[in-house]
Chains A and B, each alone.
Chain A
Amino acid sequence: MRHLLSTGDLDRDAAVLILDTAAQMAATQSREIKKLPTLRGRTVVNLFFEDSTRTRISFETAAKRLSADVINFSAKGSSVSKGESLKDTALTLQAMGADAVVIRHQASGAPHVLARSGWVDGAVVNAGDGTHQHPTQALLDAYTIRRHLVGGAGASDPAGRDLDGLHVAIVGDVLHSRVARSNVQLLTTLGARVTLVAPPTLVPVGVQQWPCDVSYHLDPVLADGAPDAVMMLRVQRERMGAGTSAGGFFPTPLEYTRNYGLDQRRLDLLPDHAVVMHPGPMNRGLEISADAADSPRAVIVEQVANGVAVRMAVLYLLLAGETHEERTGIA
């Protein structure tokens, strides 16, 4: 693995290796001294063209726990227009000797451009690009699902296992969601079955080629599909009805919540073992009710913690590689 740009680039074994490595990383995090010497002397740059404190802090924590030097480079406010160019920023980072560039960008494909351009030598990690991909989010989702639903359900580390036979429902704004795109590819690669649930306006034209089912109705998917995990997607305020220039994607927030929101009644339709997930930040009362968000089924807070372990694994696998003996550091 040279870069991590898209979950579509991962085959089953590569994905399982990341999850297994993440489990090892997580194990070290219960120690008193959490810091590993693995990436000492390496430089990880967090290049964020789009504001996301949560994701940046997660990557920063992961890099620091591996003893890497971290540079946070916020290019926020520089709009997607010529002038403040991705190229010039990349060349600057190259001059700083970045071993890995973690990039978040509002333009779909910006990490691919960075990786393909030759502007930087280091590994490129996609931390979310436009409405395209957010591979580490999907990996932490898969990791969370595996911990809860595979093997002894948290009792023992299900190392080497994939998500074969599990059913995951992903609910909400699929059209604009990089989380949904990443998860459809990764979860199916890992053997899970995915059902997307959304109003038709929030399903992309062309979805018929995706390896998943699509439903416009949440209740039957929950009741009859018996999903093992339900992933609620954040609904952006600007997609809503009144006042939006393109005509809203749905009439009112109320109608959205009525048809697609996860509340206590819908929670009760789920199998007992099913977990509730959300990539955050949540719109409580819109796509998820407080009851659902705070229920014992919700693993939303755990997802955040798992994010650090998964990002440690990704940085480790990209930067330490097979040639380094530092592997022993995480035994």
Chain B
Amino acid sequence: MSGSTRYVLRGVAPLGGDPVDLLLADGVIAAAGRGDIQAALDRDAAAGSPVVEVDGAGLVALPGLVDLHTHLREPGREDAETVGSGTRAAALGGFTAVHAMANTSPVADTAGVVEQVWRLGRDAGWVDVHPVGAVSIGLDGEHLAELGAMAASAARVRVFSDDGRCVHDPVLMRRALEYVKAFDGVVAQHAQEPRLTVGAQMHEGVVSAELGLTGWPAVAEEAIIARDVLLAEHVGSRLHVCHLSTAGSVELIRWAKSRGIDVTAEVTPHHLLLTDELARDYDPVYKVNPPLRTQADVDAVRDGLADGTIDIVATDHAPHTREDKDCEWAAAAMGMTGLETALSVVQETMVETGRMTWADVARVLSEAPARIGRVTDHGRPLTVGEPANLTLVDPAARTTVVPERQGTASVNSPFRGRELPGRVVATFLRGRATVLDGHAVPAPSATAPASGEVR
């Protein structure tokens, strides 16, 4: 690492607290405070590696964000996103690690595929990519995939999910929950009772009744969550609930936690901000699974996130090509991009409303997702000796979302044209700047270590 650029971050506010200077060197936070930093720089002056000063006045320093739920689309749908473009978007959004969902083509259901995704991520160098392994072979919902092989692979998979589909068979779900205990894994469930959601297009309620779109009832999510927390309790396993979206789901998780069940839950940025009213124009950019719900649900998930019932915010970043969205609602794909707007939406809905501090933001977007995914070198305190995975945010900035200017290869952002607070100014992955001045900084030799550094 010697010879690589060192960064001095002047006057940044860790977790929004008192301003401090931080020195990033050799992949870690090497020193903090003006005096210690000067001493460290003097000591290493002979090394001759460049020092870049970053004016951090007014910037909040957060541990690099960790996304537990990202669709990178590679392999298979490189026309919508690649590991390269998706992880660049992640870095621009302040992330230093993402979990890549398994519903690729081929499905990430073997050690070979998860290692391929892991290597693509490492070679791109924007963030650490942690592949999620499929629970069932080909997401078929019937046959357990080789979870142990994926866990033991170079990708060291700890999160398993058939996301996009629900593990609806209660026996398969039970087996998966039990099996992952052997390697401290977690099953991340996309909670959607399939029979109750045949042909479902949007939240079932007042708006769907008027629009004549087939409803996706809240009970289809809640019934699976209720079943799964009871299964997790019965077999003593760890369960994670993806993209929880209804008020009833929040109540169920609250109840489960009060019973001591080892369950964690996530909410997406779009479920924190948007409602089913947006479907009224039949613009499929608002079509997502689970669907946008009502204002009462939005209020409930905000409450749940504020009081800790919901552990994390995860993006469910789901890029789609233009042709998959430029059509009638029923024909359109479900999903929205989110990596580059997640932090801003959390600031808007939770920080600016006074419901969360920046320390809470660090908890729900970095510390807790890292803990759930068993990612040990992210989501750490911003203290000397820790890995230099962090991001700097200007909370006073306001920007209007222009999807075409984002790092993701797709433009299906539901926040187009919306002004949101906060701007990621810089992101550092093990001391290397992946983002500076709000612009992505490619790794000097992104693919160089591909052959030499296999663990």
Contacts and interface: CB of A to CB of B under 8 A. Distances in A.
Interface of A: 8, 80-82, 85-87, 105-110, 112-113, 116-117, 129-133, 178, 181, 204-210, 245-246
Contacts of B328: 80, 86, 105, 107, 109-110, 113
Given A86-B327, A108-B213, 12 more contacts: A87-B326, A105-B328, A107-B329, A109-B213, A110-B328, A113-B328, A116-B282, A116-B283, A130-B213, A204-B209, A204-B215, A205-B215
Given A82-B323, A116-B283, A205-B215, A109 B210 contact: no
Contacts, number: 92
A110 B276 CA distance: 18
Chain B contact-residue range equals 20 to 34
5 contacts: A85-B326, A108-B213, A108-B330, A112-B282, A131-B212
A205 B330 contact: no
Contacts of B273: none
Interface in B170-221: 195, 198, 201, 204-215, 217
B233 interface: no
B326 A109 contact: no
B331 interface: yes
B18 interface: no
B206 to A, nearest CB: 4
A205 B201 CA distance: 14
Given A82-B331, A107-B330, A113-B329, A205 B217 contact: yes
A85 B323 contact: yes
A82 B327 contact: yes
Contacts of B201: 108
A206 B327 CA distance: 26
B324 interface: yes
A209 B209 contact: yes
Contact of A206 (B195, B210, B282, B283): B210
Nearest to A174: B209
Interface of B: 195, 198, 201, 204-215, 217, 281-283, 323-324, 326-331
A269 B207 CA distance: 35
B198, B207, B281, B331, most chain A CB atoms within 10 A:
B331
A121 B294 CA distance: 34
A268 B330 CA distance: 43
With a 10 A CB-CB cut-off, give which of A81, A109, A131 has the most chain B CB atoms: A109
A133 B212 contact: yes
Contacts of A208: 206
B204 A108 contact: no
A245 B207 CA distance: 26
Contacts of B212: 108-109, 129-133, 178, 181
